[in-house]
Structure 1
């Protein structure tokens, strides 16, 4: 006699079910936002515009380095986390492409950061696949540190235009949500401590000059390179004693520890706080979050 099974079906895992939901966002950037949206300072504003120019090519590099080893993953939870990672990174690239179009309309030369970062990444793409993945884990450590700083630095929030900052806050939250995924994939591949140390140096040697050249070029094109007052103010806000970037640098050496893992620096409470701020009942980005119902149905 046939009997109906009473064993409940196991829910299929996805990015949303493991805490890394690809949120379909659609930002409408304000046309009346101040041109220098960070503290009305050209030097600092162009630093963040330069970073936005770097993000789309960078996200694609991250995704490809992880995708190369995707078939080696047997753990179902990690498979779902990788799917969430891929989805989030793809949407980050798309939305920053749109933001970069606005910057271009505002007269910023966004071709320079995109071209120069592609040159830098093309050098890293010549490395073995495992080394490219190791480089991704280092850069994901940097972006997670950048994200935490952005969400906790009260001066950043007060200096930046309230509307322009929204895309950065969403991006920062998701960087924290998926901060350990590439590293966990690298653990599947083998995780060589020596290789990690090597890519630290290589990534810095390749990308820091690219960042500096792009930023300097953009400031020069803006006609602000000789504006000592603007330059000094911007540099101090970014690299001064309490500067935005200065607050990130102490986190960088942690990656070199043999027993490093992104989750050892716990940001769970911060993520929960910002999920509620952005996507809670009265969240700042509920309107922009186009697949809210679908995500919440399976989360």
Structure 2
């Protein structure tokens, strides 16, 4: 129960930080508010259609994605050096720590109410199929607003960064697939060292 309360508190702070991030992006000429609106609409629809167990399974799958992304962000000095804006950088790393801290809450809650492995596996598959087009559409929107949509150099850089031989997403795939392993639990990833490092870097200790 304590973890759930902490999760709710973090999500409330998470929402406020997203608003700040959106405001900063808008200041730089990129408006992402439409994507927040679409996300809220999709959540309302899914909440009406799906059972509690199905929603929790979906949340557990999404939280696995965000936890893996957070893990790789915190462990990558290359990513750290790539982000120049200090406001955005601090927000990204605060967000990464927050995602890592509550990575098991939805998973554990799903287990506690009798959720099954098959529900989580199905949810993970659906999330995996759906997340690519959503992220791509959002990225295209941002690139268009930034005037980079038809810049081939930007596309090559993006492709190499995420899907190249040392690409960020390519490195994540083995960790993402761990969700399907029977007996998997989100806390099996040891994040103590990177969490300690980034708490110190962000002066949170």
Q: Fold conserved (TM > 0.5)? A: yes
In structure 1, the partner of 2:153 is 229
Query: Of 105, 111, 122, which residue of structure 2 is paired with 1:198?
Result: 122
Which has the larger share of helix?
Answer: 2
Structure whose alpha-carbon radius of gyration is higher: 1
Task: Give the length in aligned residue pairs.
Answer: 203
Conserved 8 A contact 1:180-1:262: yes
| CA RMSD in angstroms, aligned pairs only | 1.9
Distance, in Å, in 2 between the alignment partners of 1:105 and 1:274 is 27
C-alpha change, 1:81 and 1:90, in structure 2 (3 Å) is: same
Q: Identify the match of residue 274 of structure 1 among 171, 181, 198.
A: 198
- Tell me by how many angstroms 1:168 deviates: 1.1
CA gap of 1:224–1:102, structure 2 versus 1, over 3 A, is same
User: Which runs of 5 or more residues in structure 2 are unaligned?
Assistant: none
Unmatched runs of 5 consecutive residues or more in structure 1: 1-78, 287-299
Please give the secondary structure, in 1, of the residue aligned with 2:25: helix
What does residue 96 of structure 2 align with?
A: 172
In structure 2, the partner of 1:63 is none
**Deviation digits for residues 268-296 of structure 1, max 9, x if unmatched?**
23223322332xxxx2x57xxxxxxxxxx
Q: 1:120, CA displacement in angstroms?
A: 4.0
Q: Do structure 1's residue 124 and structure 2's residue 46 form an aligned pair?
A: yes
2:18 counterpart residue number: 96
> Which residue of 213, 217, 229 corresponds with 2:137?
213
Q: Residues 164 and 170 of structure 2 are in contact (CA less than 8 Å); yes or no, is this contact kept in structure 1? A: yes
> What's 1:263 paired with?
187
Counterpart CA distance in 2 for 1:205 and 1:161 is 32
State the match for 2:2 in structure 1. 80
Moved over 6 A (4+): none
Give distance in 1, aligned partners of 2:52 and 2:161.
38
TM-score, reference length from structure 1 = 0.63
- Asked if 1 retains the 8 angstrom alpha-carbon contact of 2:54 and 2:119, the reply is yes
| Pairing partner for 2:33 from 111, 115, 127 | 111
Structure 1 residue 189 corresponds to structure 2 residue 117: no
Change (3 A) 1:240 1:123: farther
